[in-house]
Homo-oligomer: A and B are copies of this chain.
């Protein structure tokens, strides 16, 4: 059924996007749209942004098309069973009923076309992991951590061939797995969380404390490429911490593969060498060292493809 489409929605800290996605994981031409979100927005403004992108995507539905389901990936934490979201970087939304909002918008605008379409909400980290498993770097692998290393650090789990959302929907928060030897304060209130050590902004901050004078992750990558010693130390530090956390996670759930994406993960291909060093430092145990770490094969469409997988690959849920 070539016109069996998913409506995919990705809600993040800086933007919300929607698109129609076919059964092969391809975004339908002209159906993708984006609106900004952000910490300054009110709840009504956020809802209006969601409404705008969903309406725009549905307006692109071809005459012969049909929406078989709606998939929503949202920044966490969430309360999956209740359909509520509390994205850390969107303070206006705490326990906000996003599932209900999307259901209403969809039925207002296209009740005839989506009458029976189920609406499925998951954390965004789970969605990007699904996308890697479906069409990315983790195809055919049953025990996978998908990771995003960017402004924050997040992820999702597939174990034994199925997604692991957890009872509240928040499994996969590798950003809040601690790393030994570090004590950096984390936005979550803890200390030494991976996100507090190894994210793009935290790596930039660390480099600045050592005397580097740039201000962005992109500049840090440029300095690394130019051989700047502090920039090299900063990215090595990030990679080793990521590897140490992957080691802990593998000790716990016996991962086979980690697929790493996100802007800061592309700072330099060397990052993956530093991650490997971190994994080997973590432990000499054979079963933790066996984990493979590869770059994501998805571009910035990963979150939307993953949200669509909630519909098209519901067999993995």
Q: Mark A75-113, 1 if CB is under 8 A from B, else 0.
A: 001000000000000000000000000000000000000
A174 touches B285 (CB 8 A): no
B249 touches A176 (CB 8 A): no
Residues of B within 8 A of A287 (CB): 77, 166, 168, 170
CB distance from A80 to the nearest CB of B (A): 9
Residues of B within 8 A of A1 (CB): none
Residues of B within 8 A of A188 (CB): 283-285
**Cα distance A173–B253 in the bound complex, in angstroms:** 8
Residues of B within 8 A of A157 (CB): 252-253
Q: Mark A286-305, 1 if CB is under 8 A from B, else 0.
A: 11101000000000000000
Q: Is A148 an interface residue (CB 8 A)?
A: no
CB distance from A57 to the nearest CB of B (A): 30
**Cα distance A177–B252 in the bound complex, in angstroms:** 7
Residues of B within 8 A of A190 (CB): 180, 247, 281-284
Which residues of A in the span 130-185 have a Cβ within 8 Å of any Cβ on B?
142-143, 157, 159-160, 164-183
Instruction: Please tell me how many copies of the chain the complex holds.
Output: 2
Number of interface residues of A (CB under 8 A): 53
Residue ID in chain B nearest A176 by CB atoms: B251
CB distance from A260 to the nearest CB of B (A): 16
Q: Is A203 an interface residue (CB 8 A)?
A: no
Q: Is A192 an interface residue (CB 8 A)?
A: yes
Q: Mark A246-271, 1 if CB is under 8 A from B, else 0.
A: 01110111111000000000000000
Q: Is A244 an interface residue (CB 8 A)?
A: yes
Given A177-B248, A180-B192, A244-B178, A164 contacting B159 (CB threshold 8 A): yes
Residues of B within 8 A of A160 (CB): 164
Given A252-B172, A253-B171, A285-B77, A193 contacting B166 (CB threshold 8 A): no
| Partner pick for A167 among B143, B166, B281, B286, CB 8 A cutoff | B143
Residues of B within 8 A of A165 (CB): 254
Q: Is A230 an interface residue (CB 8 A)?
A: no
Given A143-B166, A160-B164, A188-B284, A252 contacting B181 (CB threshold 8 A): no
**Cα distance A20–B141 in the bound complex, in angstroms:** 38
Q: Name 26 interchain pairs, CB-CB below 8 A, sorted by A.
A: A143-B166, A143-B167, A166-B253, A166-B254, A167-B254, A168-B287, A170-B251, A170-B285, A171-B253, A172-B252, A173-B252, A173-B285, A174-B251, A176-B288, A177-B252, A178-B247, A181-B183, A181-B191, A186-B283, A188-B285, A189-B283, A189-B285, A190-B282, A190-B284, A191-B281, A252-B253
Top 7 A-B pairs ranked by shortest CB distance?
A: A180-B192, A166-B254, A189-B284, A178-B180, A176-B251, A171-B254, A173-B251
